[in-house]
Structures are given as C-alpha cells and as structure tokens.
Amino acid sequence: MILIVAEHAGGKLAKSTLEMVTAARDSGREGPVTLLVLGQGVAGVANEAAAVADQVLVGDLPALATYNAEVWAAATAQIAREGEATTVLIGGSRSGREYAPRVAVKLDAPYLEDAIRLSASGDALQAQRYTYLARVTETVEASGPVIVVTVKPGSFAAASAAAQPGEQYDVELELPTPRVEVTGRSVEKTSRVALTEADVIVTGGRGVGNPENFTTYVEGLADAIGAGVGATRAVVDAGWRPYAEQVGQTGKTVQPGAYIALGVSGAVQHLSGMGKSKNIIAINKDAEAPIFKVADYGIVGDVNVIVPALIEAARK
C-alpha cells in the first residue's frame, strides 16, 4: 500500500493531504492509497479522508490529542510495517519534516525530502525537488522495499472525491511515552483563510509602498473577496508583515485558483512558490516586470489608483 499520513487541523482535512493523494495516484506506485488519520475525536476527518482514499486507517486516542514527533513516528512506522507499505508519504510541513526522518530510520528506509513530482521506475521511486535557490530542479531516485517521502505543500493539485468512498478501519497502536512535551501554544487569531488553504490569494510586494498601504490595499482587497494574504520576502524582511505570510522559495509554496500580485516584481525565488497558481493576475507599474512573463492577466499601473477601485467594485 501507499501510506499517507493525513494532515488535519480544526477537525478538517488539510489541503496538503488532498495534494498527497494526487501525488500517490500520479506516482505510478502500486497498492491502495491509504490515509492514516491520527488524533483524538477525528471521526469527521476520517469521513473526509474516506471520500478521497481507497482505505482509511484511524488511530483515535487521547494520547494522539496533540502532535508529538516521537509518537507520530512510532505510529506511522508501526502501520507501515504491518501494512507492508511500499511508500510512506508525509506532508512537508514543519512537523512532517520533523518526524519523517525518524520514520525512515525506524523502517531502515531511504528518505526523499520535499518532493514536487514523483514517478515510479521499476522498483525505484524518482522524486524531483528544488535546489540552489530553486534555480535548479534535481531528480533523485531511491529503491528498497519501502521509501519514505515528504511532499512539498502546494506542489500537486488537490484530489477530488473518488466515485466510491474508501473503507475505514480502527487501528491499535503501541505508542511510546513522549520525552518532549508541548507545554504551551498561542494561536494567532484571524478570521482570514490560511494561506496554504486559500483558493484565492492577494499578495503584496514592496511596490505597495509601506505597511499602512499593505493593510489598506492588500488586506482590504483580500477581505473584500474572501482571500488569503501573502507577502514577498522584501516586505517580510522590512518588517511590514510576518514570516508566516511569505510566499516563495524560503516561504510557503501555494497553488491557488487565483493569485493576485500587487507591486510584486516576480523574482525567481518568489515565482518558485506561486508559479503553478491556476490564474496569476499582476498589477505593477513597470511593464517590463518579470511577473508579467508568468501572469495570465496583467494591469500596468499604480496600485494606489487601481486597487481602491478594485476594492470598491468587489464590495459592490
């Protein structure tokens, strides 16, 4: 089987999980696409998972109430071993990249990190990943009875529901007592859709001018159309916006239905994080800005003039 460890939050399956299902189906690896749902009170998540997978394995336990690397690694390795998984896909999130190498060690398996494409070649699995500031895409290959892979979020299209929902099974897990404990957590309060979940993203770059304009134009337009907010590294480095909003090679990779770039030049490191968006709409006063080379729609003009008109139109 191809085992995918489901990522979920707030009782909902994360988009990254749907992307991993596509990665699994496109990989050419054989076996049922199996989602492993770990957590407490995850019946709703398991039902969502069943809509896209061939089968769903559910570990619903108080000990799984919060993510812990030691526990997730032990549970994943146990299920991979028992199910004779040939491939284990784990989200390339911060936590996924934390426990995936542990799973590989437990299974004595090769580990492919940050895959943006997967293809089977005989018994081997080939993965593409970015390197050298995303200027180079390299292909790496691993073989063995089982291969552990992390999948870069935003690199595959989200899977849609299968014709038949997959069967669900409860699993019994032997979990270790974790030696590291999360002792506190403060969650940013926002009603806005998370960047990696958003189907429409409005991103602001240095051309927006200053932090106040960012709030007025970028957040204003995003809120008017129900979009997520992104930022370039230039504005994050300038302290206008938090790192969590950064899109690009050293930030998040996104693939929304529409990506609206305001005052963004389109540097290669930015493009590597959003270049696969289905529709790219750019507003930039410089007709030669590289963003227009990838844009589906472009407006050459001043954000100070165009964006207020867009917000007004959207509000109407």
Residues of this chain that interact with ligand FAD (CB under 6 A) are 133, 205-207, 232-235, 246-251, 263-265, 267, 269-270, 273, 283-286, 289, 302-304
Report how far residue 308's alpha carbon sits from residue 316's, in angstroms, rounded to the nearest whole number: 12
Amino acid found at 261: A
CB-wise, 233 or 276, nearer to ligand FAD?
A: 233
- Least CB distance from residue 243 to ligand FAD, whole Å? 10
- Least CB distance from residue 263 to ligand FAD, whole Å? 4
CB-wise, 55 or 265, nearer to ligand FAD?
A: 265
Report how far residue 48's alpha carbon sits from residue 13's, in angstroms, rounded to the nearest whole number: 7
CB-wise, 85 or 247, nearer to ligand FAD?
A: 247
Cβ–Cβ < 8 Å for 86, 148: no
CB-wise, 73 or 295, nearer to ligand FAD?
A: 295
Query: H helices within the chain, ranges in order?
Result: 15-26, 43-50, 69-82, 94-107, 211-213, 220-225, 233-237, 268-274, 291-294, 303-315
By CB atoms closer than 10 A (0-12, 13-18, 19+), residue 221 is: buried
CB-wise, 102 or 206, nearer to ligand FAD?
A: 206
Tokens of 147: 């291969």
- Least CB distance from residue 111 to ligand FAD, whole Å? 24
- Least CB distance from residue 292 to ligand FAD, whole Å? 9
3-state class percentages of the chain: helix first, strand second, coil last, to nearest 5: 30, 30, 40
- Least CB distance from residue 180 to ligand FAD, whole Å? 29
What is the C-alpha radius of gyration for the chain, rounded to an integer number of angstroms? 21
- Least CB distance from residue 129 to ligand FAD, whole Å? 16
CB-wise, 25 or 152, nearer to ligand FAD?
A: 152
Phi, psi (rounded to 5 degrees) for 108: 55, 45
